[in-house]
Chains A and B, each alone.
Chain A
Amino acid sequence: MNPHVRHLRRTLPATVTLAHGGGGSAMRDLIEGVFIAAFTDSDAPLEDQACFDLAALAAVGDRLAFTTDSFVVDPLFFPGGDIGTLAVCGTINDIAMGGAHPVALSCAMIVEEGLPVEILRRVAASMAETARAAGVPIVTGDTKVVARGACDKLFVTTTGIGVVRAGAHIGIGRARPGDIVLVNGLLGDHGAAILSARGDLALDSAIESDCAPLHGLVGVLLDAAPGTRSLRDATRGGVAAVLNELAEASGVGVRLRELDLPVRPEVVGFCEILGLDPLYLANEGKLVAVVPPEEAEAALAALRAHPLGREARAIGRIVETRPGRVVMETRFGGERIVDMLVGDQLPRIC
């Protein structure tokens, strides 16, 4: 670690003030003392941009993938993760869902004045740890401090680049009748964890967010099923939102079987009490994959062999009928349409 940085860390005040956004030495102390200290071991002078060797990128694949995502989760810390792990995993996953290998991330922080520096440190540490474990470095960033009330505690934006593996052609509009729909595990954990961590439901639960980077899992999936048609991480709006987009974009119908949906009993109970539907709950470590039928078995086996895919399951299939619609065969033998939600999924009152 850079000894200069270590010295600065001791001199930081306990809370972030507008002075830390002023562009002067206070800002530099904050950036170096919190972010640089966490994200890099190098003591090279800071530049405004990161540079990449094009030949090295081209050796991994044949197209560049580029994505960005903002994170405004409340609370900042929740069982199974925090805004930092979410920001790293979320952008890695967006890259991975294009069949790309993530190369590097940027990180922009918008901090509300008054936030304890200790909170920033904790977030930076978990971002660094998540990025390191995923093998995707955070190579550039930005910090702004805004007046109290102009944002809520801390907003994080991460941007990522990656390289798409040659031969992979993955898209939301590529599903065809006969294809099989897979998920890599239990649904709804993140949404349920956040809702119960908010505390206003007065429900105690042991449900943890499933927040995880999925590029390794996508790698083994594409090795086993190179013909994979579509990949999406089932974040806001849950599996229901992903499948509706897919049905519309591909001009196909999707047929689900409720009995095949993997949901842990705690989440089932949580949804039961609040009148929620796990299909609409957010996930942060779950993907929906559409694979051609002849590759489905190999795809499922590959997912299950990976630590993040042990509970992988085929949940439905792509059909010609009712294009644009997602229809579920209910546990009870009936049928219902699984539509998009208009807004938030709100608890029913009676």
Chain B
Amino acid sequence: MRFVDEFRDPALARVVIREIETIAARMERGRERPFAVMEVCGGHTHAIFRYGLEGLLPDIIEFVHGPGCPVCVLPMGRVDDCVSIAERPEVIFATFGDAIRVPGSRKSLLTAKAEGADIRTVYSPLDALALACRNPDREVVFFGLGFETTMPSTALTIRRAAREGVGNFSIFCNHITIIPTLRALLETQDLGIDGFIGPGHVSMVIGTEPYRFIAEEFGKPMVVSGFEPLDLLQSLLMVLRQLESGVAKIENQYARVVPDTGNRAAMEAVAEVYEPRETFEWRGLGSIAHSGVRLRERYARFDAERRFAVPEISVGDPASCRCGEVLTGKLKPWGCPMFGTACTPETPLGALMVSSEGSCAAYYQYGGVRQPQFEGAA
């Protein structure tokens, strides 16, 4: 496949890996702990495991899997709200497939579906809008989920629903924004992260400018990366070069897709439809100011939270769950006593075990190969 195979070329990979090894060997001297590079995006986590990248790198380099899986960071209380909407007899609840197994405090959407709720898997918010048009006597609610990557498509869908006067369509908005979250992460105590691999798809929308504070205020390098294995290796090499030279800046490895200024049309649609919430709760990370969005007053009639009474009860993570520490890179999944025992993909306790992009699920699914090296905390 053109534009894909080139970025999976093992021969080219060996060249990049050799450069990484050379630079790592120079930097290793006097170093007491590994260089921890956080890949923010769940798509990157998935690719790292799928291609077995960790096994190809020197031990002195370690990936920390960040909070960039929107399914994983969804708190239980929001899942409960979601189930309560989905269980209303008049509602057809349309969701992306990933979200369907996320555990709430009572049940997941999958269980609600088995018990009779009308829950449909869709692949685009436009599919949900089409469902609303085909079922005028039902209320179709779309589970709006994701970072800036998916925000424009729901914004455009809402604009279209407004333009076409579709009265039985709304979204349960759980969109979240990456910048406040990265800031909150960087402000945590004892953050053991040396550099970042920046999210490619989010950046396609917001550009690279908004990340500047990471370098300027916190002195950490970030390289926005594509999703193929060569992209990731090259981005890692770019982060290491910055670390070695002692500079910190924002670089764009994914320039073939990500313009530094982002996508203006997408940003305008987002700004027109959404406004920041004062605060939004994240699983494992707690409440983060301005990290979520909701529909503006002008589009209030498409807001499922305003249309239906939802319980809005905040539910804490199970006490035994250490998702937060894993999300902030303080703990490897192996370090959690629940990992692989009480918490497995069949019976996930924490959300990180649910989505294929959650780091625990990825470790469980793919990661056994290097298990001994991961033992203990990061």
Do A and B come together as binding partners?
yes
Interface residues of A (CB under 8 A from B): 200-202, 265, 268-269, 272, 275, 322, 325, 327, 330-337, 339, 342-344, 346-350
Kindly state whether residue B346 has any CB partner on chain A within 8 Å: yes
Q: Besides the contacts A334-B53, A350-B150, what 7 more A-B pairs have beta carbons closer than 8 Å? A: A200-B127, A330-B52, A331-B10, A334-B52, A334-B56, A336-B51, A346-B121
- Known contacts: A348-B356, A350-B147, A350-B201. The answer to whether A330 contacts B51 by CB under 8 A is yes
The one of A265, A342, A344, A348 that contacts B346, using a Cβ cutoff of 8 Å: A342
The majority secondary structure among interface residues of chain A is loop
A59 to B42, CA, bound (A): 60
Contact with A along B85-119 (1 / 0, CB 8 A): 00000000000111111000000001000000000
A200 to B121, CA, bound (A): 9
Docked-complex contact B100 and A346, CB < 8 angstroms? yes
Kindly state whether residue B146 has any CB partner on chain A within 8 Å: yes
Cross-chain pairs A/B with CB under 8 angstroms, 7 sampled: A265-B1, A268-B1, A331-B8, A332-B229, A335-B369, A337-B367, A342-B345
Kindly state whether residue B43 has any CB partner on chain A within 8 Å: yes
The one of B13, B70, B229, B367 that contacts A349, using a Cβ cutoff of 8 Å: B70
In the assembled complex, the CB of A279 is this many whole angstroms from the nearest CB of chain B, namely 11
Which residues of B sit under 8 angstroms from A275, Cβ to Cβ? 356
Kindly report which residue of chain A lies nearest to residue B54, judged by CB atoms. Answer: A334
A349 to B99, CA, bound (A): 9
Docked-complex contact A350 and B149, CB < 8 angstroms? yes
Which residues of B sit under 8 angstroms from A343, Cβ to Cβ? 101, 110
Which residues of A sit under 8 angstroms from B52, Cβ to Cβ? 330, 332-336
Kindly report which residue of chain A lies nearest to residue B366, judged by CB atoms. Answer: A336
Which residues of B sit under 8 angstroms from A349, Cβ to Cβ? 70-71, 96-99, 145-146, 150
Contact with A along B340-378 (1 / 0, CB 8 A): 000001100000000111000000111111000000000
Tell me the B14-44 residues at the A interface (CB within 8 Å).
14, 42-43
The majority secondary structure among interface residues of chain B is helix
Which residues of A sit under 8 angstroms from B368, Cβ to Cβ? 322, 325, 337
Please list the 10 inter-chain residue pairs (A to B) with the smallest Cβ-Cβ separation, ordered nearest first.
A334-B52, A346-B97, A349-B96, A332-B51, A336-B366, A335-B52, A342-B345, A337-B368, A336-B52, A350-B149
The one of B50, B147, B150, B365 that contacts A330, using a Cβ cutoff of 8 Å: B50
Which residues of A sit under 8 angstroms from B364, Cβ to Cβ? 339
Tell me the B174-199 residues at the A interface (CB within 8 Å).
none
Which residues of A sit under 8 angstroms from B110, Cβ to Cβ? 343
Docked-complex contact B43 and A327, CB < 8 angstroms? no
Tell me the B152-179 residues at the A interface (CB within 8 Å).
none
Kindly state whether residue B319 has any CB partner on chain A within 8 Å: no
Q: Which of B1, B97, B145, B201 has the most CB of A within 10 A?
A: B97
